Amino acid sequence: MTQNSSSAFVLNDPNGNELWKAPVNGSISSCAAILDNGNLVILDEQYNSIWESFKEPTDTILPGQILYMNTTLRSHQSTTNYSYGRFQLSLQLDGNLVLYSINMPSEVLNHAYFATMTMFWESQLIFTEAGYMYVQDANNSTNIFNLTQEDPGSKDSFYHMARIDYDGVFRIYKHLRQQDTSCGSCPSTWDPVQGIPGITDICGVFDANTFVGGFCGLNGVCRTSDASSGGETFCSCPYGFSQLNPYEDWAGCKPDFPLPNCDNGWEENKGQVSFVRLTNMDWPFTDYSLVQGANETECKQQCLDDCMCVVAIFEKTGGYCWKKKYPLSNGRYSTNITRIAFIKVPNSFVPVKKSQSVVVVLALLLGSSAFLNILFFIASIVAIIYLHHKKLNSPWNIDSTLATNVRSYTYKELEQATRGFKQIVGKGAFGTVYKGVLPSDSKRFVAVKKLGKVVEEGEKEFKTEIQADRWLVSVMHLSLALSFVLGYKVPLFHAYYPFVSFTFLVVILDS
């Protein structure tokens, strides 16, 4: 936001186009400031307030802000589209605080889906500094309706705000004022304290009187995430349908197959008709026929025999079977819905059956690089074990093989690497294992075993351990390589190596 040559404060896009200009009613603005409570204030030359953001709210209010009668909040269309959305919170002239849905683009209000019924008072919506919200009678400061049912948290620990979201829920949020670094990772988002209406499934609120077609439009399906995710509402299309507008998922869905028409259409050939079974699904208010005492098979048959039927909804309790026609409205999905939806489709639109899907799943697995890499890892382990046992059955000399590819270290080098043999990571029969870092490469860790008794038996046993467990060292290197290349957390037979009691042996672990 900048102040132009006419002293007006304007908001421009990156190309310099004017998006908004502060209305000052002929006054000359001299400066602007954001107060500690978040209120953006524009002052004239005498430092009188000529415009305040608190008096012209959009979709959000902050603690300390008051909503007066004949004031509204309007939602956005989506989380990324900040155009006017389909919901409105209004403190009406009669004092009633109401949530409405709006038909677009006509802007006609539908029936309210929430109201405080606080008529006949001089109502104000108060959002306190402590994060609590209520409707108050301005004449005597009496609280007449409390909207905050949950603890918003201390104002000393949290910031607060309230917003009417794109899904029509008016939510109170909180955010930590200071990050607590002791927790490792701290939340960087606003967490919902409470939603209004105070229900977990907003989809059930919207009906034929709230929206034409329902929250997600004709043929669409509304679902709500769990409370831990904020209880947000999402729209989707059932199997065999696609979105009318990929940028507006609430606009409804269209079938990807020809509609039944009872005039020699595909539905007339019953051998070419199948049903897609969807659990926890329902489309209320579009049924034209009800059959009672039916089982699941009979319910599908009822729809199959009726060329007008496009979806059958089955309720096991009571044996209810509702037959529905296009377009479907008020679609919703919820684990609380015990009904089963059967969508009539041509055979070509039926999902792959389980017996066929096994082949598909195996093909996908075999085609994935991760699966092949795991197979390669297992095969390598088996090959190494086989070679190890093969070598065990052939004559070999301990001393000669031990001498190959092993670097010698002085006592001083090992003492420096282990910082004076301080960090013990294990003890063996003839010595102690220490952790260290090579001075030449700080990214390489070493495990060093220091002999406790310099006796012939101890040294001989150590050499035997090294030769007998050479294959474990090979597996270690292979595991490290796979862990690096694949990014998997592969169990490593390395450091500190519980299977071998290391002596002044230095095992170098590549970073």
What is the residue-wise DSSP string for 289-314? EEE-S--HHHHHHHHHT-TT--EEEE
Does 270 show up as a binding residue in the annotation?
Answer: no
CA distance 282 to 201: 14
Cis check: omega of the bond before 498, within 30 degrees of 0: no
CA distance 248 to 246: 6
Cis check: omega of the bond before 63, within 30 degrees of 0: no
With beta carbons less than 8 A apart as the criterion, state whether 74 and 87 touch: yes
Cα–Cα–Cα angle for 448, 469, 407, nearest 5°? 45
Cis check: omega of the bond before 197, within 30 degrees of 0: yes
Q: Scanning the structure block, which residue is given the tokens 């995430």?
A: 225
Cα–Cα–Cα angle for 393, 398, 399, nearest 5°? 160
CA distance 60 to 67: 11
What is the three-class DSSP state of 108? strand
CA distance 47 to 4: 19
What is the DSSP pairing of strand 331-333 with strand 221-224? parallel
CA distance 222 to 203: 6
Q: How far is CA 51 from CA 33, 90, 146, 212, 230, in A?
A: 11, 21, 30, 39, 34
Residue 244 makes CB contacts below 8 A (sequence gap 6+) with 217, 251, 252, 253, 254
Please give the torsion angle defined by the CA atoms of residues 438, 444, 445 and 449, in that order, rounded to the nearest 10 degrees.
-50
- Determine whether 379 is exposed, middle or buried from the number of CB atoms within 10 Å of its CB (0-12, 13-18, 19+): exposed
Q: Scanning the structure block, which residue is given the tokens 């109502």?
A: 123
State the binding site for ATP: 450
Annotated binding site: 450
